[in-house]
Structure 1
Amino acid sequence: MLDVQCLSKVYKTGKRALNGIDMIIDRPQVVAIIGSSGAGKSTFIRCINRLVEPTSGRILLNGKDIVALDRKDLRSARRRIGMIFQEYNLVERLTVMQNVLSGRLGYVSLFASLRYRFPAEDIRAAFELLDRVGLAGYQDRRADALSGGQRQRVGIARALMQRPDLLLLDEPTASLDPKTSRQIMRLVGELVAERKTPAIINIHDVALAKSHADRIVGLSEGALVFDDTPDQLTDAALARIYGDEDWTLTSNNEAAGA
């Protein structure tokens, strides 16, 4: 499905954000990307759909190299990559339904998109998704009248309206309280299983990653230093990712809360 080969990013300042990342996702799963601030997590996520331009390397999605695409073909490829943002990225003055249907804008004419006229099939799919993410009956609410957790659910529904081959989530729980964060992560895991669509999640909360991800990838100074299942994320692995620290308390707290 996704094959990232020797992906590097060097910014104009000379900062090397990514240093030869190799990663393959060949089945539906939730992949959590963890690491310190500045480790390259957001850069990695955004390079995959070229919101950030890679300096070198290849990103193969279903055999097509995203890095090599021209502007027109990139627009087409992005339809198959659903992006969910920390700041929700909704149009505040529009309704929930209009925001969800925005996931289909690349599939209708300019005339139809300006008037938010979509095929009946798309409207039915939007209602079904709103029900699935727990927002049945919210279709006519304005986005700016929603809570943070509700906005994130709208963002998830909008991304799924694209019928993507891959979901990218950039710190989707950073602005949410702990309970809502767990609910959102649980929802993402359920949707990945139901729709057979892999998801890559950039996340700071290690405990949340361990409890909801199928696979954890750790970055340190732009390099991949860990790639395994959550149960293999030992104190020694955490030290490789985040640096020397006493991780015993974190491990004990997780065990107590299990």
Structure 2
Amino acid sequence: MLTLSQVTKRYPTGDRALTDIDLTLPAGQVMALIGPSGAGKSTLIRCVNRLVEPTSGSIRLGDTELTRLSGRELRRARRAMGMIFQEYALVDRLTVMENVLSGRLGQVGFWRSFLRRYPADAVTEAFRLLERVGLPHAIDKRADALSGGQRQRVGIARALLQDPQLLLVDEPTASLDPKTSRQIMRLIRELCAERELGAIINIHDVALARQFADRIAGLRAGEIVFDGRPEALDAETLTTIYGEENWGEEEWDTQGQAADEASSSSVEPATRLSLATGGAS
């Protein structure tokens, strides 16, 4: 279980990226973070694994208080948190298998990883994960020869090779087409269910969040303004999160078809709706 209590991030300028964030994520639950650009979604995820240092508050993963860790203890704790990145963070010149095995870098030591001498159990698990994410045919391909969806699947397999307790996912569909976006979100949800993994997914596409998340948290200006079930995300709530807009239900059906066809997931919901209607209010 992940627990955030009164987590605040304040920059030296005095600007606050997060203010008094309280969240509890049970094992096995998939939670989507939604909100406009600059709302603090990526900052929140990065505070959890300490890529961004919170100014104050408590972050606990199980019995471990993450905010008190440093050095070797922090590196060990990060192994329990698999990170999936928007831009994949793969090494293009390495093969798919080598990129997946890099998920064990924090456990095998520098020289074994440098010489690419991974334990047999890690290699066996990497093969199994690549089969599970649908890439058994691409094991020896270089990462730069893959499509966006394939690259994201490699990133998912790499994160799972860490055998994490928690997945932190930063805009996994931002660069993908609508069909591939749904496939990736479905895969993440299925894997979390299979492994009883909690996941926090920063995502701009509200329709995908409604379709695949168990729970949605809406951020605005660094504060949580909504936390509930996807079906509770109505037009009034969307206005609270994003601001005034014509939030027609046809744009936010639970299958996500209308919103996906309107434009790519990298465009914010309010802009997407305006483009889809030709700017009409």
TM-score, L = length of structure 2 = 0.89
**Stretches of structure 1 lacking an aligned partner (at least 5 in a row):** none
Taking only aligned residues, the RMSD between alpha carbons, in angstroms, comes to 1.1
Instruction: Compute the displacement of 1:9 (Å).
Output: 0.3
Relative contact order, higher structure (CA 8 A, sep 6+) = 1
Q: SS state of the match for residue 129, structure 2? A: helix
1:247 to partner: Cα distance? 0.8
Equivalent runs, 1:1-258 vs 2, <5 Å: 1-248=1-248, 251-255=249-253
| Stretches of structure 2 lacking an aligned partner (at least 5 in a row) | 257-281
Deviation string, structure 1 residues 37-90 (Cα, Å, up to 9, x no partner): 000000001100011110000100012111110122100000110000000000
Deviations 1:72-121 (A, max 9, x none): 21000001100000000001100000000001111113221101111111
CA distance in 2, matches of 1:257, 1:220: 25
Alignment partner of 1:43: what SS?
helix
Amino acid at match of 1:245: E
Once the two structures are superposed, residues 197-229 of structure 1 have per-residue CA deviations (whole angstroms, 9 ceiling, x without a partner) of 111000000011001111000001000111101
Distance 1:70 1:86 in 2: 26
State the match for 2:259 in structure 1.
none
Q: Which amino acid aligns with 1:213?
A: A
Q: Distance in 2 between matches of 1:74 and 1:231?
A: 37
Question: Residue type matched to 1:108 in 2?
Answer: V
Amino acid at match of 1:192: C
Write out the 4+ residue segments of structure 1 that deviate beyond 6 Å after TM superposition: none
Return the alpha-carbon distance in structure 2 between the equivalents of residues 89 and 189 of structure 1: 21
Q: Distance in 2 between matches of 1:103 and 1:149?
A: 19
1-structure distance, mates of 2:122, 2:101: 7
Total equivalences in the alignment: 256
2-structure distance, mates of 1:45, 1:254: 25
Equivalent residue letter for 2:180: T
Letter of the 1:195 counterpart = R
Inter-partner Cα distance in structure 1 for 2:137 and 2:148: 17
| AA aligned opposite 1:103 | G
SS of alignment partner, residue 60 of structure 2: strand
- Distance in 1 of aligned mates of 2:30 and 2:48: 16
Fraction of identical pairs, as percent: 61
Cα deviations across residues 3-46 of structure 1 (Å, max 9, x unaligned)? 00000001122210000000001231110000000000000011
Displacement of 1:233: 0.4
The code of the aligned residue for 2:250 comes to N
Residues in 1 aligned to 2:174 and 2:107: alpha-carbon distance in whole angstroms: 31
